[in-house]
Amino acid sequence: MHLLLFSLFLLLPHAVSLTIDGSVLAREDGIGMHDPARADKLHFLGRFCFSNTGSGMGTVTMTANVARGGGGTNVVLVDDTRWADLWRQREIIGCTQALGAMSGQGAFLWTTDLPEGKSARVLSVEDNVRPHYWYAAAMNCKGPMDFTYSIRFVQPDGTLLSFDDVGVMTAYEMLLVLLLVLLFLHGFAHNWNLPYMYGVTVLTTIVLLSLSLACVLKILHIFLMSQDGRGSPFLSAVGDLCHASAQLFLCSIFLLVSNGWGALSPVLRREHRRHILLLLLLFVVFHVYFLLNDWFFLDHASATYAYESLPGFLVVALQVASLAFFGFRLRETMNTLEGGEKKRFLLLFGCLACVWFILVPVAVLIATLLDPYVRAKSVAIMRLVIDGSTVTVLVWLVMPSRLDKYFQGSVCPPGPTWQNRHPTKIYEGGEGGQMELEGGGREGKMRGKKEKRELRAEQRDRCMESMIQRFSSFIVVWGEGGGLETEGRGGGGGERSERS
C-alpha cells in the first residue's frame, strides 16, 4: 500500500508549473470525424498564467523532438478569452478552420510544421491588460503526431512563478510563524508535560504540528518552483495531506466536545461514537477523493477551480452537514447542564466551531465570483486565514486554567508522584524547587534525578497503555455486537465495565 502511494506521488502532474514536460501521440485517422483523439483535433499541452506587472515581455521557450513521420505539427497559444469556445468545439470544427481562428487578439499560431527531430522555438508575450491564462495546444492537419516537448515560461519580471501562485508562499510563511508561536505558548502553558494533558489538548497539539508540517512542505514546494519552474509535486502532495489531516483532527475536536466528551464525561455513549466515526470516515473519503481528483483527474484544459467538480461539492456539502450535526448535538449537551460557567464555555466553544464550519463553504462561494486567475489562490489563502484564526482561539480555550474547570479526565490516569513516594523529603526553595533525597549532597541529588527519570518513564508507559485501551473501546463499539464500555471518573479514578 505504501509503495502504491509512493508511486502515485511520483506520477503527480506538473499542470501548475511554469516548466511543462510531456508527449503527444495521435493517429491521423481516428474512429470518426468527431473523434477528439485524432491528430487534426486540438491536443492540450499545458496552461500557464502570465502577470501584467513588471517591465518587458514574458518569454515562452519550447524544445520539441518530433519522431519520424510526425512532421507538420502546429503549436498554438490561446488565452482564456478564446480558449473555452475553441476547446468546446474541437470535435466539430476542422483542422484548417481551427488554424484559421488562430489570428487576432488572444489566439495565434506559434509554430507551423515542426520538422522531424529536435528543434527549439522562443516567443515573447506581452500581457498589459490583465493577467491571463494561456493555453498551449498542438494539432496536425497533414498526418499523425508523435513528439515530446518541454515548455518553459518566464514572467516579465524574470520569475518562474505563475501568477496564480503569487502571494500563496507569503501566506504560508505568516501562518508558519503564527503556528510556531502558538506551539511554544501551548507547550509552555502545559509545562511541556504531554502525559498529563487532557484529550482535547493532545488533539490540539496534533492540529498545530500537522498544520506546521503542511506549511513547511508547501513553502519548500513553492520555493523550488520559483527556482526551476517545476517544484516538487511530492512535497506539495504530502503538504496537502498534512493540511487535510489537521482539518480532520480539528473537526474531531469540535464533534467530540459537542457530544460532551471531556466536558460531561471522559467517554462517549455508543450511539454518539458511531455517528462521529461515520462523519469522520466520510471526511477522510471525501477529502482523499478531492485530492486525488485534483492531482490526477482534473481536466486542466477546461477547469481552473477544483471546487467546481463533484469531489469539491461533496467536501463542501459534508462541511455543512457536519455543522448541522454539531449544532444539534451541542444543543442537547447544553440542555443537560444546569447553567453557569461550563455552559457559557461550551457556548463559546460552539461559536468557534460554527464559524470554522461555515467559513469554508462561504470562502468557496466567494471565490466563484472572482476572476479565474485569482480564484484558486484566494480560496487557499482564505482557508489558511480561517485555520490560523481558529487554532489561535482554540489554544486560548484549552489553557490549563480552563481545562481544570470545564473538562474531566486527562489522556492518562494519574500515577504516583515523587511526592507520594517520599512525603517527608525536602524541596529546597519550596514547591517546584530542587529535589533531594535524605542525606543531601550531590549523591542525593543524583539519586533524586534518576528516580524522577524512572517515574517519567512509568508515566509514558501508563499513558500509552491508557490511550490504546481508549482507542480500542472507541472502535469496538462500532460493531453490531456487544462490547465493553468503560466509564472513568475525574482523572482516571474509579473505572467500571459493563457488558452491553
For residue 452, the model assigns a pLDDT of 61
- The conformation of residue 306, written as its DSSP 8-state character, comes to G
Whole-number pLDDT of residue 100: 82
CA 39, CA 27: separation in Å to the nearest integer?
5
- Rounded CA-CA distance 401/300 in Å is 51
CA distances from 260 to 104, 394, 429, 486 (A): 65, 17, 41, 15
What DSSP line would sit under 334-379, residue for residue?
HHTS--SHHHHHHHHHHHHHHHHHHHHHHHHHHHTTS-HHHHHHHH
- Is 0.95 topped by the overall pTM? no
Cell of 188: 509552555
The single-letter code of the amino acid at 443 is: E
The predicted pLDDT at position 3 comes to 33
Q: How far apart are CA 244 and CA 158, in angstroms?
A: 34
User: How high is the pLDDT of residue 239?
Assistant: 95
Sorted by where each starts, the structural domains of the chain and their CATH numbers stand as: 16-154 (2.60.120), 167-406 (1.20.1070), 412-444+461-477 (no CATH)
Residues of the chain with pLDDT under 70: 1-17, 28-36, 53-56, 104, 193-198, 262-269, 338-339, 404, 406-500
**Residue matched to cell numbers 508511486:** 7
Nine-digit cell string for 452:
524522577
In whole angstroms, what is the distance from residue 91 CA to residue 33 CA? 8
Name the one residue in this structure whose C-alpha cell is 521557450.
61
* Cα angle for residues 73, 75, 81 (degrees, 5° grid): 145
User: What's the confidence (pLDDT) of residue 347?
Assistant: 86
Please, where are the H alpha helices in 293-340? 310-335
Strand-pair partners of 499: 484
Helix (H) or strand (E) segment spanning residue 111:
strand 107-114
CA distance 104 to 42: 18
Q: Taking a C-beta distance cutoff of 8 angstroms, is the pair 181, 392 a contact?
A: no
The label of the residue with cell 477523493 reads 289
Largest CA distance in the chain: 100
3-state secondary structure of 482: coil
